Amino acid sequence: MSLKLQKLPSFPGRPGPLLLIIMDGIGLAADSAGNAVTRAHTPCLDRLQQHCRLQTTLTAHGPAVGMPSWSDMGNSEVGHNALGAGRIVDQGASLVNKALASGELFRTDTWQEVAAAGKCGGTLHFIGLLSDGNVHSHIDHLFAMLRHAAAEGVQRIALHLLLDGRDVQPRSALGYLAKTESLLAELQQRYSCDVCIASGGGRMQVTMDRYNADWQIVARGWQAHVLGQARTFRSAEQAVETFYRERPSIIDQDLEAFVIVDSVGKPLAPIVDGDAVIFFNFRGDRAIEISRAFEEQEFHEFDRQRRPQVIYCGMMRYDGDLLIPKRYLVSPPLIQDTVSEYLCAAGLRSFAISETQKYGHVTYFWNGNRSGKVDAKLEEYVEIPSDRVPFNEKPQMQAAEITTATRELLKRGEFRFGRVNFANGDMVGHTGDFEAAVKAVEAVDRAVDLLEKEVAAMHGITLILADHGNCEKMFVESHGKRSIKTSHTLNPVPCFICDADYQGEYVMAQLGERGLGNVAATLLNLLGYEKPQAYEPSLLRFLTT
């Protein structure tokens, strides 16, 4: 397929740059006491809602971003995939569902290898996020593999479970653990296999770091899962109940690491030579670092103390360029011909910028799950280091620093297109701290205001949107009781096209459904190019003169 772009006959683009601003986690919902967006002081967003002539809403969840059903929340990864790809592709959850339903997963050489280890004296270990949030993992995927492993004769199975409270209710771990223990009891009785929960901890404290933000999170996971070194308990339920009792305000994602021991205090199942390990999360960003710890012989991020000789695999390949991990059970989506590839083929210079927490989203995920640049001569990527403090303690995060760096990039006058992500609405929204989320939205509003005005002064265009909802719904009320909501939402997201030189050259197109997949074609149109044939329709219809 040729990547050659065709010029739009009726619109050459503006002389200034096109800037895409992604307000991560800032969705749309009716005003309520839990809506941090409407309760924030947002003069810029208010101005855009009242006066922007070209605005709409976009669907950012479910099948609109490649998820299995309309009850599935969107997330930053699938959102940026859709934004950069210009079309909808089946994502991790859908691909794993199909591989399990067809049985293809269990016919792979990788499954045969890991299962064989559990039949020949070793232990088959499962590490991953225990929830049905369907963002990083799904409990049903774990249960299907456990049933199959036990049925085909795997004798020793150990679970190392990361507790969620982020993509699901903040204190829901005990329910998921009860379901898991019930299944383990069933498997033990039916197949006489030795299966147990061996270790765990909250996802934001144990194992699931990303973008090299804090390797100590991975180190704590390694110590618990591999070395059997963490606070000890006789059961996972006892661990969670103890943590709840000791810190009444703590939520599942922040629970410390724990190890399950027998009656004499010996860890039940640390990972040792001859074992096999499946990391059962399907999403890549928080799976890469622990995969590196298992697979890399030369490793310097923390002291592993020992590296067991195991067969390690991921649910999917988490990085296609770096081939992490080497073994995997389900092939990830292959996303080719992204908007970045088209821009580079046309010789257009572009930049991408965010802080560490979302840097991979405007680069790796935007580029179709590929590391590195499409063309280093035409692209500039800027990462602003994130602070290593709880996000609700500094809700402004790095918004001001990102804004300053973006303005400097724009003033250089050499880029036709730029994309910037402000992580505040998502990362602070996940903490469940309403007042902090309000401050986060206000920080993003200030940043958007400065950048939109900067681009307008340069006779360019700014497209402002979000990749999914989050902080517009910070708690839910049921039967008169209020509970914190830390997960993403099913709400639509805003979309504003700010063009100070607009003279009616284009209007919003009449589309049956508008989603994130329509954005890439829109960007190319605003740069003066026709959309590629395979892309979803543009949000705009251009008028002939």
Residues known to be catalytic: 76
Tell me, what DSSP letter sits at residue 257? P
H helical segments located in 202-299: 215-225, 236-246, 288-295
Nearest to 339 by CA among 317, 377, 370, 383: 370
Beta-bridge partners for 59? 515
DSSP string covering 20-36: EEEETT-------TT-T
3-state secondary structure of 151: helix
Question: CA-CA distances (angstroms) from residue 46 to 26, 39, 259, 319, 452?
Answer: 14, 12, 50, 40, 14
| CA distance linking residue 438 with residue 34, whole number of Å | 10
* DSSP-assigned letters across all residues of 425-450: HHHHHTTT-HHHHHHHHHHHHHHHHH
**Integer Cα distance of 432 and 413 in angstroms:** 40
DSSP secondary structure, 301-353, as one string: SS--S-----EEEEEE-SBTTTTBSS-EEEPPP---S-HHHHHHHTT--EEEE
Dihedral angle at the C-alpha atoms of 63, 65, 70, 74, nearest 10 degrees? 160
Number of C-beta neighbours around residue 46 at 10 A: 12
DSSP string, 160-208: EEEE-SSSS-TT-HHHHHHHHHHHHHHHHHHH--EEEEEEEEETTTSS-
Q: Which residues pair with 419 in a beta bridge?
A: 20, 352
Q: In terms of DSSP bridges, do strands 258-260 and 194-202 run parallel, antiparallel, or are they unpaired? A: antiparallel
CA 400, distance to chain mean position in Å, is 23
DSSP state of 120: T
